[in-house]
Amino acid sequence: MRNNRVHNQLRDIEIIPNFTKHAEGSVLISVGDTKVICNASIEERVPPFMRGSGKGWITAEYAMLPRATETRNIRESSKGKVSGRTMEIQRLIGRALRAVVNLDAIGERTIWIDCDVIQADGGTRTASITGAFVAMVYALGTLVDKGTLKSIPITDYLAAISVGVLPDGMEILDLEYAEDSIAHVDMNVVMTGKGEFVELQGTGEEATFTSAQLTKMLDLANEGLQQIFEMQKQAIHDYKEKLDCK
Amino acid sequence: MRNNRVHNQLRDIEIIPNFTKHAEGSVLISVGDTKVICNASIEERVPPFMRGSGKGWITAEYAMLPRATETRNIRESSKGKVSGRTMEIQRLIGRALRAVVNLDAIGERTIWIDCDVIQADGGTRTASITGAFVAMVYALGTLVDKGTLKSIPITDYLAAISVGVLPDGMEILDLEYAEDSIAHVDMNVVMTGKGEFVELQGTGEEATFTSAQLTKMLDLANEGLQQIFEMQKQAIHDYKEKLDCK
Amino acid sequence: MRNNRVHNQLRDIEIIPNFTKHAEGSVLISVGDTKVICNASIEERVPPFMRGSGKGWITAEYAMLPRATETRNIRESSKGKVSGRTMEIQRLIGRALRAVVNLDAIGERTIWIDCDVIQADGGTRTASITGAFVAMVYALGTLVDKGTLKSIPITDYLAAISVGVLPDGMEILDLEYAEDSIAHVDMNVVMTGKGEFVELQGTGEEATFTSAQLTKMLDLANEGLQQIFEMQKQAIHDYKEKLDCK
Amino acid sequence: MRNNRVHNQLRDIEIIPNFTKHAEGSVLISVGDTKVICNASIEERVPPFMRGSGKGWITAEYAMLPRATETRNIRESSKGKVSGRTMEIQRLIGRALRAVVNLDAIGERTIWIDCDVIQADGGTRTASITGAFVAMVYALGTLVDKGTLKSIPITDYLAAISVGVLPDGMEILDLEYAEDSIAHVDMNVVMTGKGEFVELQGTGEEATFTSAQLTKMLDLANEGLQQIFEMQKQAIHDYKEKLDCK
Amino acid sequence: MRNNRVHNQLRDIEIIPNFTKHAEGSVLISVGDTKVICNASIEERVPPFMRGSGKGWITAEYAMLPRATETRNIRESSKGKVSGRTMEIQRLIGRALRAVVNLDAIGERTIWIDCDVIQADGGTRTASITGAFVAMVYALGTLVDKGTLKSIPITDYLAAISVGVLPDGMEILDLEYAEDSIAHVDMNVVMTGKGEFVELQGTGEEATFTSAQLTKMLDLANEGLQQIFEMQKQAIHDYKEKLDCK
Amino acid sequence: MRNNRVHNQLRDIEIIPNFTKHAEGSVLISVGDTKVICNASIEERVPPFMRGSGKGWITAEYAMLPRATETRNIRESSKGKVSGRTMEIQRLIGRALRAVVNLDAIGERTIWIDCDVIQADGGTRTASITGAFVAMVYALGTLVDKGTLKSIPITDYLAAISVGVLPDGMEILDLEYAEDSIAHVDMNVVMTGKGEFVELQGTGEEATFTSAQLTKMLDLANEGLQQIFEMQKQAIHDYKEKLDCK
């Protein structure tokens, strides 16, 4: 556990763009041993409830390979239904990304985000958000390359990280699975480049947390996310100048 | 909207115990025009993954009558599947209640919480948690009445409320539907009687929020929840002395 | 059992209109300890197979809250399918109501009837029909109030009751659950205000019945239903003069 | 329509036992152009809710080949769910057969009845009951042949027929499809050899019926069923002496 | 087993056209104790992915009655899903038939093939193909009879048979169930009248097979299929002169 | 198309073992632009139908990431059912692997094979079989490493490749997507190291093929598979000496 990391230290993060060839944006993100393929696809139409609105839409799906985890999980396609946990995560990813995109500017298009975890070690939903942001930049970038859009209508950077409280009361940044499974509190923070919150989900696992603990966790999250924004900037360097938020 | 309420004012709240006759605990909670039947049932066994553990379990289900809302919704039983929103809410309710119950003390029993919204006007998930807490006290109380348990193994009061930020930037307490549908930020706060957080879920709806706004919202939530704990105490007065947390 | 009722005596019946605020027609009907919320909703279109016909349609759905019964039932939404019993009941309710409505006169609209049992003690399907008739009058009444229709195109009153034969051979009216579970014969009678049959469903439960018993049961049903029609007239008094059948 | 039949005349009926080779009882019944394969299978166990009761159980399933009808129907296996109509019919068949079998005497066995309509022309559910009775006699007969049972524990003959009222007010026996689709009233009567009712299901199709019409329809049904009982006796002649009801 | 058949001998085959009355083409095929109803229906439209193409489509569905087999099978409609085996077979039947039909010539129509096994004794999928071909000729023949088509746009005869290798190494033709369940190799061969392959599916059942065995099996299949083509010609004799392939 | 490959030339193939960390065997196989993650998991029990047999079992699942293909596919978990194509492929993979494993020797264990296509360009099912064989060797190797098994109970090498006939009549080896979509014949050949067939699936796509073409295709397949067996031997070199087949 922690592998010699100090409490405010991120795991090694790697963001590899252009991972597969068909998707408009395709990223492999590794956060320690957590590895997620984030693909962004452009579809030239929107869901029925938005037709004629002139606006675009972003929707996300999330899944794990059966053996992404230590014990094999049954495929959700075999079970014939998607679990509550999966639904929660894919709703979160979609909502988070929509907060930093100017949906009016992308026109009646849907951006499909597919986050497929090929190896899991805690923090798969936050890694998915961080990687999906980069994939989305690439996908929207193809619309700029083709001349369909003049710029990439993204209003700010977006990334996510987990923070928590260990049983000994220590607040920590970026929980790996072994930590996550014992933590008394687990909080996911989705933040913009400017440092504003998009989403905050804190849960006491058969436990509670105080205002003071909340403050410390939010500081840790902010510290970690600033480093991650830098990595995202590297990963999208070709498209950086074309972003609305630059 | 607001119906002359000031920004830190709760809607009228009513908690009616013994609402239906079969459930061990049965509560009708009204928060303004939001009305939820919260039933708590005791089952004398636990789910397979807990058998032999000696511990109990609490699980929750949530649904809306098709015409609880302004426009009729298709029944989830007709669609053949439960929506992501429903799953998120029922996972939240179960997790929240488990945080204040000593599961070891209830033995290998499951408490089923059923929250059925018969009329919706915003805040159905927080009303469900607040009402379900009372129904659960009554259900566990029957075990004390029968002599199965010596006391009600609840470690603290538990209630929930929503807070948010209106487009004009004002932080408000207890959003009704008309407010909820325009708010830039929507946050659900689940808190214990001692004022500690159990769950915090804040979402910018295609918007973001700052640290300062977070602080103001949490203060509003705390203020409202203190009033709600008093109503819960009234609603359970017969069982109050039998609670572990008193 | 029977609670001192004589064999041809109905339980106490109460019909409360305007029970919830969103539905065009909303009724809470109590028949003894059986309580059903009957909501009628107007939808401004018909199912695909009727489009362009100029006619309206009436369709019904029926469900029980999980703890409407002594033992908790699994939700049909969780099971992912609707049981045969539920389907039979909702087909019966819809068919019965359509028999007294002039579908040509309501135009291409669907009336959705939702019968949700919140407490069950026998006779939930007959209570649903009786209550749904009243809810439907209110819903169609809103179309008259708005000037869309000139009158409420209902051709007769409609109500339902159960009759049966106890193991000792006595024919009884309006079976409560304890009676229903031991009765040798169980019959549901749906009748119009004029005393004609709309639906007759008699079942020997691992038993049979004779012509003579059939006659006695139908007499009991007729006697009970005449009283119920009077209660319906009270419950709809504001709309009574606007009914085609008056 | 009617094909020169008078109002109280049955269509040609043929009951062919031993139709397929694997089922313990296998019957092809033809009622005019309606043809149903009725198979009865013996399973050496009962459903979970009856284990340890010492009693047997009878359960029925019903289906149509997609092209049993004039227009092809979608298979229920392709739709992934069984329709309300199918469920109603299979519940009816099972309930009807259970009324004439001594379930205690057959021991902890299930008799599965499969009614598969290969050609439909009205009256498929009543033909299914009539044919299934014969298949069930054969299936129970194999238990007598093997010495497992001393006699066939059937307490009476059982058959079913439809009656109805045509738009011109004439009551008729044994409706074929063209009649069924225009009839104002449609009633299915399940009767025992002694002339007692097991099940009575009368429906006004957007119409109603009077007591006098009910009496005439029941007389027609009785007249037709007496002829059908004679055909059943022929079809089971080898086992006739082994029936409890003889 | 084999019932005195020699290794290259077919079972008795019977092909009965006009088996049921509603389908445009309806065939009962018996291959030994295997009996399959093959119905072909003409629908005046094609699936969405082919609309506007001017071409027709052929699609097949396959099912077994629950008691077609020695032990009763659960209905796929009850299970709510179609098994992998069923899907494989229906995809095979459709693909095979499409190989000998000029889809351009039939216009925007779908031919639905329904193969329903009423008694199974091995070789149900090959009997289905052989019978379905005849049913399809009759169905397309009705379009010629009505003057919609000038000829039946079938380019060649089509039939199928199984071959295999027994544990003792002997290659055999037309496996019945008892043989199929012990064979080391099982191969289905779909062939045209001209002797060309349409489909070849050979499977070693926890075993393998050599090139030499393959050759012997294909020779047996060819020998058997030549006899079957003769029977098909008899079964369609009225339409034979109207076939494009004559 | 062909990218300068000659007709009997394989695409570049790469087999990377130990691709993810949790699975007992984990392989990434690339065949040209087709990339499949093949994970093999050991479960210490067998399916119900095999319990007590003392034998092991091998079962396979196959899926594509939504954006493995040029156009995004809907997830099968979202559709709630697995397609016929997927079922066919996963049945094929499992059957093929079982042909070369001594199931008695592995004891009551299940080997789960998960083939997840992350990028598709034709031949995903044959690449899955080839890669899954290697993953399975590694997974069984861990049982040897732990001393549970003395050797890896695999009786021969196993790999698969596609062959086909182009519209111009040329037989080709290892079809990529552009070829596959126009080929008149498509055949998948699964072969053992000794050159015997395990599975042969040849399909004329609205076309047929002759015996002579079959022979040429099988020769091409054999030629390609010999090269692939060499690559498999490299990929499993650490375990090679522990294989029963060596």
Query: Is D7 exposed, middle or buried, given 0-12, 13-18 or 19+ CB atoms closer than 10 A?
Result: middle
User: Is D95–C203 a contact, with Cβ atoms under 8 angstroms apart?
Assistant: yes
Segment D63-84 mean pLDDT: 90
User: Is C77–B76 a contact, with Cβ atoms under 8 angstroms apart?
Assistant: yes
How far off is chain C from B233, nearest CA to CA, in Å? 25
Segment F128-136 mean pLDDT: 98
Q: What pLDDT does F88 receive?
A: 93
b (16+ CB within 10 A) / e for F25-52: bbbbbbbbbbbbbbbbbbbeebeeeeee
Give pLDDT tens digits for E135-176.
999 999 999 999 999 999 999 999 999 999 999 999 999 999
Q: E49: how many CB neighbours lie within 10 A of its CB?
A: 7
* pLDDT at residue E104 greater than cutoff 90: yes
Segment C138-160 mean pLDDT: 97
In chain F, which residues have their Cβ closer than 8 Å to the Cβ of A26?
67
Query: What does C94-124 look like in DSSP terms, one character per residue?
Result: HHHHHTTB-HHHH-S-EEEEEEEEEE-SS-H
Give pLDDT tens digits for C91-143.
999 999 999 999 999 999 999 999 999 999 999 999 999 999 999 999 999 99
Segment C200-221 mean pLDDT: 94
Smallest CA–CA distance from A42 into chain F, residue: F72
Would you call F72 an interface residue with chain A, using a CB distance cutoff of 8 Å?
A: yes
Range in A204-208, B77-81, F10-14 with the lowest mean pLDDT: B77-81
Q: D216: how many CB neighbours lie within 10 A of its CB?
A: 16
Give pLDDT tens digits for B139-194.
999 999 999 999 999 999 999 999 999 999 999 999 999 999 999 999 999 999 99
Cα–Cα distance, C105 to B112 (Å, whole number): 47
F20 assigned ligand-binding residue? no
Cα–Cα distance, C59 to C56 (Å, whole number): 10
In chain A, which residues have their Cβ closer than 8 Å to the Cβ of F132?
none
Q: Which residue has the higher pLDDT, B75 or B205?
A: B75
In chain D, which residues have their Cβ closer than 8 Å to the Cβ of C206?
98-99, 103
What is the arrangement of strands in the sheet containing E158-165, beginning at the earlier edge strand?
E171-173, E158-165, E185-192, E197-204, F197-204, F185-192, F158-165, F171-173
Smallest CA–CA distance from E22 into chain D, residue: D70
The pLDDT mean for chain C works out to: 95
* pLDDT at residue E95 greater than cutoff 90: yes
- The answer to whether D179 and D164 are in contact (CB under 8 A) is yes
Would you call D199 an interface residue with chain C, using a CB distance cutoff of 8 Å?
A: yes
User: Is E78–D75 a contact, with Cβ atoms under 8 angstroms apart?
Assistant: no
Of F59, F118, F138, which to mutate for an interface test with A (greatest number of A Cβ within 10 Å)? F118
- How long is chain C? 246
Beta bridge partners of A186: A164, A203
ipTM of predicted assembly, 2 dp: 0.94
**Which of D83, D196, D201 faces C208 most closely, judged by CB atoms?**
D196
Q: What pLDDT does E1 receive?
A: 60
How far off is chain E from F145, nearest CA to CA, in Å? 26
Would you call D163 an interface residue with chain C, using a CB distance cutoff of 8 Å?
A: no
* pLDDT at residue D196 greater than cutoff 90: yes
Q: What's the DSSP call for residue B154?
A: B
- Residues with Cβ within 8 Å of F80's Cβ and at least 6 positions away in sequence, in order, are A80, A81, B81
* pLDDT at residue E2 greater than cutoff 80: no
User: pLDDT band at E54, cuts 50/70/90?
Assistant: very high
Most confident of B74-83, C70-79, F65-74: F65-74
Q: What pLDDT does C1 receive?
A: 60
Q: Indicate the residue type of F45.
A: R
DSSP H or E stretch at residue A219:
helix A211-235
Residue linked to tokens 């409490």: A7
User: pLDDT band at A76, cuts 50/70/90?
Assistant: confident
Query: Which segments of chain C are extended strands (E)?
Result: 13-17, 25-31, 34-43, 57-64, 110-119, 158-165, 171-173, 185-192, 197-204
Smallest CA–CA distance from F200 into chain E, residue: E202
Range in A79-88, C56-65, C87-96 with the lowest mean pLDDT: A79-88
Cα–Cα distance, C217 to C174 (Å, whole number): 11
| Residues 26-65 of chain D whose Cβ lies under 8 A from any Cβ of chain E | 26, 33, 35, 37, 39, 41, 43, 61, 63, 65
* pLDDT at residue D206 greater than cutoff 90: no
D85 assigned ligand-binding residue? yes
Q: What pLDDT does C205 receive?
A: 79
How far off is chain B from C188, nearest CA to CA, in Å? 25
The pLDDT mean for chain F works out to: 95
Q: What pLDDT does E122 receive?
A: 96
In chain A, which residues have their Cβ closer than 8 Å to the Cβ of F116?
65, 118
Q: Which residue has the higher pLDDT, F92 or B206?
A: F92
Q: What pLDDT does F196 receive?
A: 96
User: Is F199–E200 a contact, with Cβ atoms under 8 angstroms apart?
Assistant: no
Give pLDDT tens digits for A7-20.
999 999 999 999 99
Chains that touch D (3 or more CB pairs under 8 A): C, E
F125 assigned ligand-binding residue? yes
User: pLDDT band at F1, cuts 50/70/90?
Assistant: low
Of E72, E76, E79, which to mutate for an interface test with D (greatest number of D Cβ within 10 Å)? E72
Would you call A187 an interface residue with chain B, using a CB distance cutoff of 8 Å?
A: yes
Apex CA F136: angle with CA F134 and CA F137, to 5°? Answer: 65
Smallest CA–CA distance from A205 into chain B, residue: B99
Q: What pLDDT does E80 receive?
A: 79
**Which of A88, A196, A214 faces B88 most closely, judged by CB atoms?**
A88
In chain B, which residues have their Cβ closer than 8 Å to the Cβ of C119?
20-22
Give pLDDT tens digits for B20-45.
999 999 999 999 999 999 999 999 99
Would you call D77 an interface residue with chain C, using a CB distance cutoff of 8 Å?
A: no
User: pLDDT band at B245, cuts 50/70/90?
Assistant: confident
* pLDDT at residue E246 greater than cutoff 80: no
Of F18, F22, F69, F70, which to mutate for an interface test with A (greatest number of A Cβ within 10 Å)? F22
What is residue C29's three-state secondary structure?
Answer: strand
Report the predicted TM-score, pTM, of the whole model to 2 decimal places: 0.91
Q: What pLDDT does E228 receive?
A: 98
Q: What pLDDT does F113 receive?
A: 98
Nearest to B80 by CA among C73, C115, C78: C78
Q: What pLDDT does B2 receive?
A: 76
Segment F180-189 mean pLDDT: 95
Give pLDDT tens digits for F16-74.
999 999 999 999 999 999 999 999 999 999 998 889 999 999 999 999 999 999 999 99
Segment B86-100 mean pLDDT: 95
Query: pLDDT over 70 for what percent of chain A?
Result: 99
* pLDDT at residue F216 greater than cutoff 70: yes
The pLDDT mean for chain E works out to: 95
The pLDDT mean for chain A works out to: 95
